[in-house]
Chains A and B, each alone.
Chain A
Amino acid sequence: MKRRFLLSDWAYFSHLEKNLKNILQGANVFNLVPDIMGGSARADEKVPPNMKRIYLLIFCSLSLVLISLNSCEPSILGPELGLGNLQIHPYLAIGDGFSAGFSNGDLNPVSTKGLYEGAQLYAFPDLIAGQFNTLRPLIFEQQLLPGIGSGFRMIQEMKNPICTFLGPQPVILDTTHGNGWQNSWEDSKKNHNLSIPHLRVSTVASDSFGRSSPFFQRMAGSKHSDYLDMLVEESPSFFTLWLGTEDVLDYAMTGTSNPQFRPTPEEEFAKQFDQLLTLLDDMSDSNTKGVIGNVPDISLFPYFSKTKHTYLSIENCYGSENDIYLTEQLGGTVETRKATASDKILMSAEDEIGLNNGLPGRLGLHPDNPLSDAQVLDAQELLEIRQLISRYNIIIDSLVQAHNAKRDEPWLVVVDLNHSFNKLDGGLIEDGLILSNDFLTGGVFSLDGIYLTPRGNAFVANEFIRRINAFPEFKASIPTLNLTDFIGISFP
């Protein structure tokens, strides 16, 4: 049986072969070879047969090699993605410094330092717009501050201390701001990133914020008295909104002790947020959709989590852990005690610990020379801040629910950035990269310990995109960003 099959099989191939042979002889394919080599076409007699055979062998082997090298490259079809129900033009970003691309600011609350072109180009709304753009052409303009902009911090050098076990330590260089960075924006191009650093939910309708914020002045000029006044002229088809972090940030950054920086009370937060959503509802058409980020637990940010509660003192390069003393407000009295693991010493205080300030011992290391209340978030203060943030987030959820109910179908969705940032605590691996809330090496937070690096912005952009994709009413599938395309902190 087997034999018969093979023979008939071969007979079939021989038949094909004869036809092919005729074709090939007609085309003179094989006779071309001796031609090229200097022979003639019908050269069976003229070219030494062995030579001709060698050419043929070479010709055949080369064909085989070329074919195997060039053909059959693998290729995989990409996924089918689309915008679904989303209209994206124009896409507007509403937010604070986190949406503006603010980065590498200084360690003081409400500092102006940190807005410059090099960082703005990685603002997460810009990154999201770039991903929309892969599906449908989209123009997303920002008011870029060229050069050093409002100034920023950078690592001037990594200094290797005498005690090498400490590893290289950064020497931070503060640049000053560029000339005329506050000049109002005169470019006729439309601005799509309406994010104002240090904008609070409580100040969206405040004309005193409008007057005092150089960032708002620059964006709105004298045309608008407050943020909502500026926003009302817009008509977004899609927006991202991430506000609320600044409502508590400066309060926490000053150890909850500076009366100038009170956090926004819950009722005020709810009232203003509602006003903002009502305005967005009124000014947009029924197709407008939006994604709203909630408030992350800022106490996990490096500004609050970097500094240990003990102090490593180095005597002859022999390190010993020393207690840190701090002051705590208890009712009306001030008490001095040792710091514990539940106290968060602020990054701004770190460099001052151990300095000789004229008082007994050195600052923070002696019971009679403790850190001030403004330099520490103690357990009580920490709890207050965390509770406030979780209440803000409850308010955001319920307001979004209420505003969704006003329309036939949901148009707002909340991205739980609080959860996203919590994942960074302890480290999160993606594409072989470790993202964490570690200072310098975590890749997410910039040199101010609060605002984001390009990679941190890409992380946030992906969280927004994933939420959009997961929300059934949008029916959208937007490609995510590669975190490996974005840098964390650069070192000299």
Chain B
Amino acid sequence: MGLFFGRKGLFSHEILNFMKTRCSFCLLLFVLTFCQSTVLASGLQLHLLAQRQAAMGQAGTALVRDASISFYNPGGLGFVSKQGSLQFGTTLITPSTAFQGQWPSIYQSQTEFVLMTPINAYASWRGKSNGRFEKISFGFSINNPFANGIRWPDDWKGRFISQEFSVNTFIAQPTVSYKFSDEVGIGVGLMYGFGNLVSRRALSVDGINGSEGFARFSGTGEGVGANVGVFFRPGADFSIGMNYRTRLFLSVKEGLAQFNVPESFSEQYPDMGFQTQLKLPWVFNLGVSIRPEDRFLATVDVDYTGWQVLDSLKIDLDQPISQIDLYPAREFIRTISFRIGGEYILTEKIFVRGGAYYDPSPIRQGQVSPDLPDANRIGLTTGLGFQLNPRLSVDLSYVYEFTGERTVSFNAGAFGGTYETTVSSVGLGLFLAFGEES
């Protein structure tokens, strides 16, 4: 189906009217409905890779509109309606976790404000129709599919296990896709991942001036992986996508370990290098999208994620320090998550989106550490798309993610309690399309 384009100007009256009413209505709905829940959680995997998909339950394996499909499913790249497309976006994410100590402790704490701002940029180009390369498409993407940001107050109870743990990864992916026919396309992308991590925790070495020791580990790493996908479109209103992204091990070769200890121990704890591997899981996605009527599109994704590769962050210090047993092994388990989303074409220029997802935690009871206080997550998503003119559209997304209270422990550190996490994300994306239409 073709896209509808505006008659004039940057913003039409429809948009204006819509904002006056529906926008405020949505806000109200969010405040009233969702703020009663008091729990939320953040994991290492971010599905906020593009605003349209984020608003549709974060499903995207069988959704083709723009160049972001090059990451969601390289097989669908040839099905982007315009010959060329560019997309940029960013998301503001504010995770917040509350902690309550185990009975009968009355201890409570809350993570400090962290703002994460993942970005995404996608480009795609398809060969001219009837040309030599008409079946070939090229894509390039850069985004942040894995990230974590958690910082607890300095005097918090669990600081000897984790004070701060932040990870940010970028994946740059050149992609090539071959469209066999109007029904089938395949694609493959080479993922170059790079990222940084910061981990800090307190050391039980007290200074006579009241200071407490800490160890801080920071480093950057890189690694490569692949992203392959197949896309079927048996009918105009029905698509199926399958996608597999390999695991990605980011090797940190020159990390910096810093120790803040009383002066008399400074020789014992010199700053030094370390090595580690940040292991990111493989993901298999299966998606279906269907357009039961012209104005409505529905999609479902199932993700199977091989979290078990992310066992633990084992840090190898250049000079071993016996008293620092860094990270005991954790065994993650594979998870299956479900995502469902829809898009309703309200007018020629306005698209209303919504969705929900369920993402179970890969971390077992007994191994939940405050650096990643994970729990089964439920997300509610919504968003708007505005077709500003034939070439440009703007997408807004809002995702609210929460978990039930989860009472867990980290047995290796004899640390337990109840965690609650909520994550609010607001995203803005721009989509530019140009060239001939298929």
B206 touches A81 (CB 8 A): no
A477 / chain B contacts, CB cutoff of 8 Å: 103-104
Q: A61-B396, A73-B422, A74-B38 are in contact. Are A429 and B96 (CB under 8 A)?
A: no
Asked if B313 lies at the interface with its beta carbon under 8 angstroms from chain A, I say no
A65 touches B426 (CB 8 A): yes
A60 touches B104 (CB 8 A): no
A180 / chain B contacts, CB cutoff of 8 Å: none
B107 touches A490 (CB 8 A): no
B262 / chain A contacts, CB cutoff of 8 Å: 158, 490-492
A489 / chain B contacts, CB cutoff of 8 Å: 206
A20 / chain B contacts, CB cutoff of 8 Å: 21, 24-25
Asked if A471 lies at the interface with its beta carbon under 8 angstroms from chain B, I say no
B207 touches A61 (CB 8 A): no
Interface-forming stretch among A50-58, A312-320, A392-400, A405-413? Answer: A50-58
Identify which of A53, A56, A64, A492 contacts B207 (C-beta below 8 A): A492
B25 touches A134 (CB 8 A): no
Count class of interface residues, chain A: 35 or more
Asked if A333 lies at the interface with its beta carbon under 8 angstroms from chain B, I say no
A76 touches B160 (CB 8 A): no
B110 / chain A contacts, CB cutoff of 8 Å: 73-75
B191 / chain A contacts, CB cutoff of 8 Å: none
Asked if B344 lies at the interface with its beta carbon under 8 angstroms from chain A, I say yes
- In the bound complex, CA of A17 to CA of B28 (Å): 12
List which B225-242 residues lie within 8 A (CB) of chain A.
none
- In the bound complex, CA of A148 to CA of B35 (Å): 54
Q: A61-B396, A479-B105 are in contact. Are A78 and B413 (CB under 8 A)?
A: no
A492 / chain B contacts, CB cutoff of 8 Å: 207-208, 262-264
Inter-chain CB contacts under 8 Å: number: 195
Identify which of B9, B97, B204, B323 contacts A74 (C-beta below 8 A): B97
Q: A21-B21, A432-B415 are in contact. Are A480 and B204 (CB under 8 A)?
A: no
Asked if A357 lies at the interface with its beta carbon under 8 angstroms from chain B, I say no
Identify which of B35, B96, B107, B201 contacts A482 (C-beta below 8 A): B107
Q: Which residue of B lies closest to A468 (CB)?
A: B104
B206 touches A17 (CB 8 A): no
Asked if B23 lies at the interface with its beta carbon under 8 angstroms from chain A, I say yes
Count class of interface residues, chain B: 35 or more
Asked if A35 lies at the interface with its beta carbon under 8 angstroms from chain B, I say no
Chain B 394-414 per-residue mask, 1 if CB under 8 angstroms from chain A, else 0: 001010100001000000111
List which A431-452 residues lie within 8 A (CB) of chain B.
431-434, 441, 443
B212 / chain A contacts, CB cutoff of 8 Å: 487
Q: A24-B24, A431-B413, A432-B414 are in contact. Are A74 and B264 (CB under 8 A)?
A: no
Q: A56-B16, A168-B265 are in contact. Are A75 and B11 (CB under 8 A)?
A: no
Asked if A469 lies at the interface with its beta carbon under 8 angstroms from chain B, I say yes
B159 touches A484 (CB 8 A): yes
Q: Which residue of B lies closest to A71 (CB)?
A: B35
Asked if A190 lies at the interface with its beta carbon under 8 angstroms from chain B, I say no
A71 touches B108 (CB 8 A): no
Chain A 212-225 per-residue mask, 1 if CB under 8 angstroms from chain B, else 0: 00000000000000
Instruction: With both chains docked as a complex, state the minimum distance between the C-beta of A94 and any C-beta of chain B, in angstroms.
Output: 25
A3 touches B400 (CB 8 A): no
Q: A57-B19, A431-B413, A491-B262 are in contact. Are A482 and B424 (CB under 8 A)?
A: no
Instruction: With both chains docked as a complex, state the minimum distance between the C-beta of B93 and any C-beta of chain A, in angstroms.
Output: 9
A68 / chain B contacts, CB cutoff of 8 Å: 92, 94, 398, 400, 424-426
B20 / chain A contacts, CB cutoff of 8 Å: 21, 24, 30, 56
A76 touches B25 (CB 8 A): no
Identify which of A2, A52, A61, A432 contacts B413 (C-beta below 8 A): A432
Residues of A participating in the B interface, judged by any CB pair closer than 8 Å = 2-3, 6, 10, 13, 16-17, 20-21, 24, 29-30, 49-50, 52-54, 56-57, 60-61, 63-65, 67-69, 71-79, 81, 134, 154-155, 157-158, 160, 164, 167-168, 429-434, 441, 443, 465, 469, 477-480, 482, 484-485, 487-492
